[in-house]
Structures are given as C-alpha cells and as structure tokens.
C-alpha cells in the first residue's frame, strides 16, 4: 500500500483536483514523484540583498541531492530574507513578517517536511518561529561564518572592529583614510559575520536546541564539510517525515535549558534572548526572561571570541568547535533533551575535544567564571532589562550616575558631540523610543557611541540604558531591552536629564531615584509615547498594533502559539 503523507491530500487519488495538483508540477517530472514520496521544501533565505546568505543556493543543491538519495522530492521555496546591514529601519521589524510568511507558505503548499537554510541574524530565528508554528518536520542548516579577513596583519572581526575602528577615528588615533582602506578587508568570503554576533550565536544555539545535526553549526561557509552536512540534512529530512518527528515531538523546556547554557558558555549575543523567547512562545513552552539569569548566570565563559574576546569563528571550528565547548559544561546540560536525530544532545559530546585552549578555555580556567546574561529589575525596569556582564566594564557593574536623556536616536546624533552637553564618565546615557513599538522594530542602537570629548580623554565605556537591542558584535556596559519600553508607558518615558540612576548588577537592580509623587506629576513627551513614526498602513501599522514587549520575544500577539499544518479548505 502506498504511504500516505500530508502531500497526498494534494496529489493522491484520481479526481480532478489531484489531476490539477499533479499536472502543474509535472513539467518533466515522472508520475512516480507523487506516489508515496515525501515532498521536502528547502526554505531558502538566499538573496543578493542578504549577502551573508547568498551562497545558500549552492548549499540547497547539496540538500537536494540528499533528499533525492533518501527517496524524497526536493522543492526549493524562496522565503523572505533579511540582510542585517541593508534593511531599514531595522531587520528586526521584519523578523515576524518573515516568520509569518514562511509559516503560511509551508502550510499552504503540498509539503511534508522542510530543510531551513538561514544565516544572517534574523533568518534562523524567523525560520525557527515558522517551523515551530506550522509544526512540520524541520531541520536547520546554518549557512556558516565567513573566513577571517585581515588588515595590516590584524584579524578583522565583522561588526566589532567596525565599532572599534570608528571610535578610534573619532578619538583621533586612526586616520579616516586608513579606516576606509580597511573596508575591503572586512568581508573575506561568503558566509555570515565571523564574530560571536547574532548570526553565529543563533546557529550554535539552534544546535543546542537540537534542530541542527550536532557538529554542523559553526562550519565555515566555504568549507566543503558544510556541503556534506547539507547533503546529510536532506537525507535526514526525509527520515523525519517518515518517522513524523515534528518540532513539538522533541523540543522541550530541557532543549531551551541547553540553549541558555550554550548562550552563556559561548558568550553569545543578547539578541538570542528575544529570539528564544519568541520560538518558545510559538511552541507553547513556558520560558521567561528570568530563566536566562537563573539557568545561565553562573555558566562560565569558555569561548575567547570577539566581541568579548580575541578570536573569530573559524578559530572556534579549528579549535574543536561548538561540541567541544559543550563537553566542558556537560554537567550543566539537560541529559534528556533530544536532537533532530532522535538522540540526546549530550550523546554527541563524547568524541569532542579541545585542540586549542587559547580559543576554547577549559572549565577549570574559564575566561569569566559566571558569564550569563543578568536580568535587572527595579523602578526603571519593572518588566525587566538585561545586561551582558561579560561584555561590560567590571568597574561599572555597580554605579550611580546622573541621567543624560535622548528621546530618539536622531536626538542623540544631533547632540552627542555638542561641546556644551553636560556629560562625564560618571553619567548614565539614556536612549528611549527604541523599543518594539516605539521605533518601531527594536533596533540595535543601545550601544551608543561615546561623546567625542570623553573619547579624547581616554574614556572607553560609560553606563548606557535603552529600550532597544544591541548588536551581538558590540560591547560595553549597556542595559538593554528595558521593559516596558518608553512608548508603552514604561518609567523610562519619565526620566529627565539630571535624575540619579543606580545600577547594581550583583543584586540585579536598576532604579530611578525619583519619588513616585514626583514621577506622577511628569508627562512623557508626545513623540516618546506615540513613537517616532506613526504609520497609517501596511506591515508597520500591523506591527505597532500587535507587537509584544521584549520579555515576550517581541512577537506579534496573534502569532504566539501553534496552528499546525492543517489546511481546512480547497479552492479547486
Ligand atoms: Fe549578516 Fe552579520 S550582517 S550576519
């Protein structure tokens, strides 16, 4: 008897509808392609406008070979792609749109399973959110980091060194000519950013979750072994369909526990917090922002990669890779959490080995003993805010200073280098209007550049507070994801320049030292509450009306949860 798959609802039978579904797909394809063979979509985020992912079409070819070899039918499905450096006003505004469009196209088409090809920052999160909601068998192939570029005999870390070099220009220690010369050296090959930024973080964290074949994440984009892994992932996708191994059948709280441990041990991007919260929300798994502190705060930092450290992603791969890191913290992992292969994640750690302890520190000599993300609460962030102490200056982790407030990123740019700006190394820079609703889209602006007059005096870090996000390639004592955001009426909207703010990371406090009576008499300005833009139509309107706060993953309220793959009606 012929095996029935979801796609059989389109192709099975001899009636007019089955005829239509088959006939339009034939075009040289034999009838046997529709007889009991899993139809596997390759959800491909390749795009010339997402240069970090443009090589995914080559990877898709290897995935196709694997699918055919295992008896399935591969079908390439181009999906919304987001180029982090190109898309305005911020790629994060479109993450939920990409997730929604991908989910709907997987559901709407005669698809039994999918291979998800992502890389650049928002692409793996949006694919994971889609796969979680449609709940079809799915395996992720991360596109891999680029090779290290060099300038004047120094390795260049994507993103991180852009911040560093541009600060040096502003401080007068690097010429503009030299700065511009470094531009062509920054991106050496295909692949995503080579620092421990958001793309690298999400690839590794996806592997810790269990949705990548263990050992694959972090394989450099030009490495032939990535094509082999893509081939194997294609084969696996067919097996997932025949065994009905959908995300909901193996992703558990334990999977997210392992992802949070991994996030801390690799010194990963703070953006993973909102992305993991959003994916968990799609799966109906009860994950809270405080779990990142509770599970991850005491986890040691073992990976010496920029922005927190020295090396880059191809060094990590050469040094033993992600599994070697996880082996060092094996005792902190949930041993029961399964992977896409059906075996527990911890099963894959036995053969891992650290080949270069300069890149992957041993557990006995961590780079930082307790490196996870800290969740702060207090009168300035009743819904929570986060800080990555590993990227912060130790002397600022307990600090009291006067606020210097900026109402928007434009306000910041207009005034930051004004010689009359009342600011010194003890000040606390506050940027608001950058939350999910306020900007809109929660951009990566929280790591505000320092004023020129402080840079010239040798100051390299001061406390910064924002309701937006921070690039995974950035560093500094930055408190971000302040919830509720200013545009949602959070206390951040009421801060005035000159107010005292106290930060105490050890005790997880962030407080505005202004009495409740005085705050009650203050009114936020109009643009802070209503957002910088107030679009009347399109995605931005939908987004502003429905986006949740950072502590809920900044998903849209009507996208939380799972709809499954069922389609109730047929138009033919
Ligand atoms: Fe694409 Fe960094 S810009 S990964």
Q: What whole-number distance in Å separates Cα of residue 135 and Cα of residue 113?
A: 9
Q: What is the pLDDT of residue 168?
A: 84
**Is 90 exceeded by the pLDDT of residue 422?**
yes
Decide: 199 in ligand 1 pocket, CB within 6 A: yes
pTM of the model: 0.96
Task: Verify that 82 and 103 share a domain, yes or no.
Answer: yes
- What's the length of the chain? 572
How remote is the CA of residue 359 from the centroid of ligand 1, in Å?
22
pLDDT tens digits for range 348-369: 999 999 999 999 999 999 999 9
Q: Residue 527: which CATH number? A: 3.50.30.80
CB 314 within 8 A of CB 157: no
- pLDDT of amino acid 391: 82
pLDDT given for residue 163 in this prediction? 81
Give me the mean pLDDT over the 328-347 stretch. 98
Are 142 and 153 in the same domain?
no
367 in a structural domain: no
Q: Kindly tell me if the per-residue pLDDT of 172 is higher than 90.
A: no
What six digits make up the tokens of 498? 């000159």
Q: Is 474 in the pocket of ligand 1 (CB under 6 A)?
A: no
* Residue 451 to residue 413: CA distance in whole angstroms: 10
Q: Is 302 found in the same domain as 250?
A: yes
Q: In this structure, which residue's CA is closest to atom 3 in ligand 1? A: 84
Q: Which domain holds residue 193?
A: 30-148+188-349
CB 480 within 8 Å of CB 396? no
Query: Is the CB of residue 501 below 6 angstroms from any atom belonging to ligand 1?
Result: no
What residues contact residue 536 under an 8 Å CB cut-off, 6+ apart? Answer: none
Give the distance from CA 468 to its chain's centroid: 14
pLDDT the model gives residue 569: 83
Residues 160 and 134 in one domain: no
Q: What is the rounded radius of gyration, in angstroms, for the C-alpha atoms of the chain?
A: 24
The answer to the question of residue 311 being in a domain is yes
Each residue of 219-242: pLDDT tens digit?
Answer: 999 999 999 999 999 999 999 999
Contact 371 CB / ligand 1 (< 6 Å): no
Q: How confident is the model at residue 533 (pLDDT cuts 50, 70, 90)?
A: low
**Of 121, 122, 203, 271, best ligand 1 pocket probe by most atoms within 8 Å of the beta carbon:** 121
**β-pair partners for 378:** 381
Q: What is the pLDDT of residue 529?
A: 65
Domain count of the chain?
Answer: 3
Q: Does the pLDDT at position 334 exceed 70?
A: yes
Ligand 1 atom at shortest distance from the alpha carbon of 84: 3
3 state DSSP class of 116: strand
456-479 tens-digit pLDDT = 899 989 999 999 999 877 779 999
Ligand 1 pocket test, candidate residues 45, 84, 123, 268, most atoms within 8 A of CB: 84
Look at residue 554 and tell me if it is in a domain.
no
- d(CA 22, ligand 1 centre) in Å: 39
Does the beta carbon of 197 sit less than 6 angstroms from any atom of ligand 1?
Answer: yes
Cα(101) to ligand 1 centroid in Å equals: 21
Shortest CA distance to 565 belongs to which of 252, 99, 105? 105
* pLDDT(531) > 70: no
Question: Which tens digits make up the pLDDT trace of 261-303?
Answer: 999 999 999 999 999 999 999 999 999 999 999 999 999 999 9
Kindly tell me if the per-residue pLDDT of 2 is higher than 70. no
Question: Which of 81, 92, 144, 158 should be mutated for ligand 1, with most atoms under 8 A from CB?
Answer: 158
H or E stretch covering 377: strand 374-378
Residues 343 and 406 in one domain: no
Mean pLDDT for the chain overall: 94
Alpha helix (H) ranges present in 251-392?
253-265, 271-283, 289-296, 313-318, 321-328
One domain, residues 153 and 271: no
How far is the CA of 274 from the CAs of 170, 232, 320, 431, in angstroms?
32, 30, 28, 19
Query: Does any ligand 1 atom lie closer than 6 A to the CB of residue 84?
Result: yes
CB–CB of 544/487 below 8 Å?
Answer: no
d(CA 474, CA 38): 43
Q: Could you tell me the CA-to-CA distances from 557 to 115, 484, 546, 553, 565 in Å, in that order? A: 27, 16, 6, 10, 20
pLDDT of 209 strictly over 70: yes
**Residue 79 sits in the same domain as residue 228:** yes
What are the beta bridge partners of residue 76?
42
The model's pLDDT over 367-401, given as tens digits with 9 standing for 90+, comes to 999 888 999 999 999 999 999 887 899 999 999 99
pLDDT of 1 higher than 60: no
Answer whether residue 359 is part of any domain.
Answer: no
pLDDT at residue number 58: 97
Closest ligand 1 atom to the C-alpha of 192? 4
One domain for residues 263 and 155:
no
In the reported structure, the alpha carbon of residue 298 is separated from the centroid of ligand 1 by a whole-number distance in angstroms of 29
Q: In the numeric block, which tokens belong to residue 147?
A: 């090779």
Give residue-wise pLDDT tens across range 58-90: 999 999 999 999 999 999 999 999 999 999 999
Single out the residue in 315, 349, 383 at which a domain terminates: 349
Indicate which residue's Cα is closest to atom 1 of ligand 1: 120
247 plus 124 within the same structural domain: yes
192 pocket-lining for ligand 1 (C-beta < 6 Å): yes
85 Cβ closer than 6 Å to some ligand 1 atom: yes
Structural domain contains residue 369: no
The ligand 1 atom at the shortest distance from the C-alpha of residue 83 is 1
Indicate if the pLDDT at residue 483 is higher than 70: yes
Contact 300, 369 (CB under 8 A): yes
CA quadruple 565, 103, 118, 136: dihedral, nearest 10: -10
Q: Are residues 135 and 273 in the same domain?
A: yes
pLDDT at 390: 79
CB of residue 113 inside a 6 A radius of ligand 1:
no
The verdict on the CB of residue 52 being under 6 Å from ligand 1 is yes
Distance 94 CA to ligand 1 centre (A): 15
Give yes or no: residues 307 and 339 share one domain. yes
Ligand 1 center–CA 303 separation, angstroms: 20
Which of 164, 186, 208 corresponds to the end of one domain? 186
Please give the Cα distance from 253 to 277 (Å, whole number): 11
Are the C-beta atoms of residues 486 and 381 closer than 8 Å to each other?
no
Q: Is 220 in the pocket of ligand 1 (CB under 6 A)?
A: no
User: For ligand 1, is residue 110 a contact (CB within 6 Å)?
Assistant: no
The answer to whether the CB of 547 is under 6 A from ligand 1 is no
Which of 82, 117, 122, 199 to mutate for ligand 1's pocket (most ligand atoms within 8 Å of CB)?
A: 199
In the reported structure, the alpha carbon of residue 471 is separated from the centroid of ligand 1 by a whole-number distance in angstroms of 10
Distance (Å) from CA 199 to ligand 1 centroid: 6
Which residue's alpha carbon is nearest to atom 2 within ligand 1? Answer: 193
Share above pLDDT 90 across residues of the chain, in percent, rounded to a whole number: 86
pLDDT at position 97: 98
Tell me which of 47, 86, 120, 163 to substitute to probe ligand 1's pocket, judged by most ligand atoms within 8 Å of the beta carbon.
Answer: 120
Round to whole Å and give the CA distance between 206 and 175.
Answer: 40
Span 184-207, average pLDDT: 95
Residue 387 CA to residue 428 CA, distance in Å, equals 14
Residue 534 reports pLDDT greater than 90: no
Q: Using an 8 Å Cβ cutoff, are 118 and 284 in contact? A: no
Q: Which of 186, 204, 234 is the last residue of a domain?
A: 186
Inside any domain, residue 323: yes
Q: Is residue 559 part of a domain?
A: no
Mean pLDDT of 152-181: 87
Closest CA to 209 of 246, 179, 254: 254
> Is residue 120 in contact with ligand 1, taking CB distance under 6 Å?
yes
For residue 200, the ligand 1 atom closest to its alpha carbon is: 4
Q: Which atom of ligand 1 is nearest to the CA of 119?
A: 4
Within a domain: 563: no
* Residue 209 and residue 329 in one domain: yes
């Amino acid at each position: 008897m012929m095996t029935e798959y979801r796609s059989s609802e389109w192709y099975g039978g001899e009636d007019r509808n089955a005829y239509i579904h088959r006939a339009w797909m034939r075009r040289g394809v034999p009838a046997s392609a529709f007889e009991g063979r899993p139809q596997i979509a390759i959800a491909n985020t390749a795009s010339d406008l997402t240069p970090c992912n443009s090589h995914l079409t080559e990877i898709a070819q290897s995935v196709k070979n694997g699918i055919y070899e295992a008896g399935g039918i591969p079908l390439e499905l181009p999906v919304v792609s987001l180029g982090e450096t190109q898309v305005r006003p911020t790629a994060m505004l479109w993450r939920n749109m990409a997730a929604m469009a991908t989910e709907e196209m997987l559901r709407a088409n005669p698809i039994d399973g999918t291979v998800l090809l992502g890389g650049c920052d928002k692409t793996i999160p949006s694919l994971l959110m889609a796969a979680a909601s449609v709940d079809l068998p799915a395996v992720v192939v991360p596109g891999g980091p680029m090779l290290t570029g060099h300038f004047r005999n120094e390795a260049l870390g994507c993103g991180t060194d852009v911040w560093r070099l541009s600060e040096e220009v502003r401080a007068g220690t690097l010429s503009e000519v030299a700065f511009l010369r470094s531009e062509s050296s920054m991106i050496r090959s295909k692949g995503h950013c080579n620092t421990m930024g958001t793309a690298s973080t999400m690839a590794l964290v996806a592997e810790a979750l269990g949705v990548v074949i263990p050992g694959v994440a972090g394989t450099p984009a030009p490495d032939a072994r990535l094509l082999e892994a893509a081939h194997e992932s294609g084969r696996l996708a067919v097996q997932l369909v025949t065994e009905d191994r959908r995300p909901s059948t193996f992703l558990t709280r334990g999977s997210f526990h392992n992802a949070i441990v991994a996030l801390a041990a690799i010194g990963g991007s703070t953006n993973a917090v909102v992305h993991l919260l959003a994916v968990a929300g799609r799966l109906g798994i009860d994950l809270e922002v405080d779990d990142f502190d509770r599970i991850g705060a005491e986890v040691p930092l073992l990976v010496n990669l920029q922005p927190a450290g020295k090396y880059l992603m191809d060094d990590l791969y050469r040094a033993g890779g992600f599994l070697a890191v996880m082996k060092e913290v094996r005792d902190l992992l949930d041993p029961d959490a399964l992977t896409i292969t059906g075996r527990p994640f911890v099963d894959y750690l036995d053969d891992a080995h650290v080949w270069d302890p300069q890149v992957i520190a041993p557990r006995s000599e961590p780079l930082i003993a307790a490196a996870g993300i800290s969740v702060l609460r207090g009168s300035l962030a009743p819904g929570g805010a986060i800080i990555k102490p590993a990227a912060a200056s130790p002397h600022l982790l307990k600090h009291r200073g006067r606020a210097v407030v900026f109402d928007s990123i434009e306000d910041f740019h207009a005034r930051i280098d004004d010689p009359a700006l009342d600011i010194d190394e003890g000040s606390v820079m506050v940027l608001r209007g950058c939350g999910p609703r306020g900007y809109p889209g929660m951009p990566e602006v929280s790591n505000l550049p320092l004023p020129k007059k402080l840079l010239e005096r040798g100051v390299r870090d001061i406390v910064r507070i924002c309701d937006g996000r921070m690039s995974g390639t950035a560093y500094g004592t930055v408190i971000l994801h302040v919830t509720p955001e200013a545009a949602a009426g959070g206390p951040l909207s009421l801060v005035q320049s000159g107010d005292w703010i106290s930060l105490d990371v050890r005790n997880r406090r962030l407080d505005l030292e202004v009495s409740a009576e005085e705050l009650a008499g203050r009114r936020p300005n109009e643009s802070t509450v209503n957002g910088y833009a107030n679009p009347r139509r399109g995605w931005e309107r939908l987004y502003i009306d429905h986006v949740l706060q950072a502590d809920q993953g900044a998903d849209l309220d009507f996208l939380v949860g799972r709809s499954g793959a069922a389609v109730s009606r047929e138009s033919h």
